[in-house]
Amino acid sequence: MKKSDIIISLRDITKSFPLEIGGVQQVLFNISFDVHAGEFVAIMGPSGSGKSTCMNIVGALDTPSGGTYELYGRNITNLGPDELAVIRNEHIGFVFQQFNLLSKRTVLDNVMLPLMYRGLPMAERERRAREMLRRVGLEKFESYLPTQLSGGMKQRVAIARALAGDPKLILADEPTGALDSKMGNEILKFFKQLNKEMGITIVMITHEFDIAKYASRLIHIRDGHINYDGPMPKTDRNL
């Protein structure tokens, strides 16, 4: 792959948090990896491994204590909160475990929400939102409230919302954690479809190998260190 295809580039990323009793706790130790355009990558690790902290840095939700992070070739390591908010809104689509939908707003309103922050005209917001709802098979439910939908449908709304901004990168944080296994598998197959047919780069966080194996590459983190980065293994026995 070409260097110009690199979307995410982390170099020697560290992260520490202050402790109430004094001192700091280091959570990430010299994390380095690249993610190229069109990849489907799973970042996996047990609870407390540092994978969620890593995702927060990749998603511009947090900043590292040390090292360098380049997104689309731009060094965003030391940007402030307002600049990072713009990065998130314009370049990254997020899909979370708990859907993060506004319960009193319609499905269409929820999908349009990120586009409002971009200042797009209402007509363009509606056009994009309806197109994404059609893409995820929910065009007939635009006037429904999230409370009227199943868990799998809520996650599809969240995916439509992530896609509405036309991102080249989607970050999915435990995207099937609130779903039963059948619905979860449907969502994971849909991610594979988005990756294969639309070329969207997907980085998915999970602690389960059965979820991670839908990706083509695995980055495994344990105790704040990367202990595997390569093609998806057949089993998790050696991780």
Q: Give the CATH number, domain containing residue 162.
A: 3.40.50.300
Q: Which domain holds residue 110?
A: 3-231
Any domain includes 239: no
pLDDT tens digits for range 19-28: 888 889 999 9
Please, which residues have CB within 8 angstroms of residue 186's CB and are 6 or more apart in sequence? 152
- Residue 136 domain-assigned (yes or no): yes
Query: Is 76 contained in some domain?
Result: yes
Please give the distance of CA 57 from its chain centroid, rounded to a whole number.
11
User: Is residue 237 in a domain?
Assistant: no
Q: Give the residue, 10 or 156, on which the prediction is more confident.
A: 10
- For the segment 75-93, what is each residue's pLDDT rounded down to a tens digit? 999 999 999 999 998 899 9
The structural domain count of the chain equals: 1
Is residue 236, in this structure, part of any structural domain at all? Answer: no
> Nearest 5 degrees, angle CA 176-CA 180-CA 182?
95
Please tell me the distance from the alpha carbon of residue 193 to that of residue 206, in angstroms, as a whole number: 19
Summarize pLDDT for 94-137 with one digit per residue, the tens.
Answer: 998 888 899 999 999 999 988 888 888 999 999 999 999 998 88
Q: Is residue 238 part of a domain?
A: no
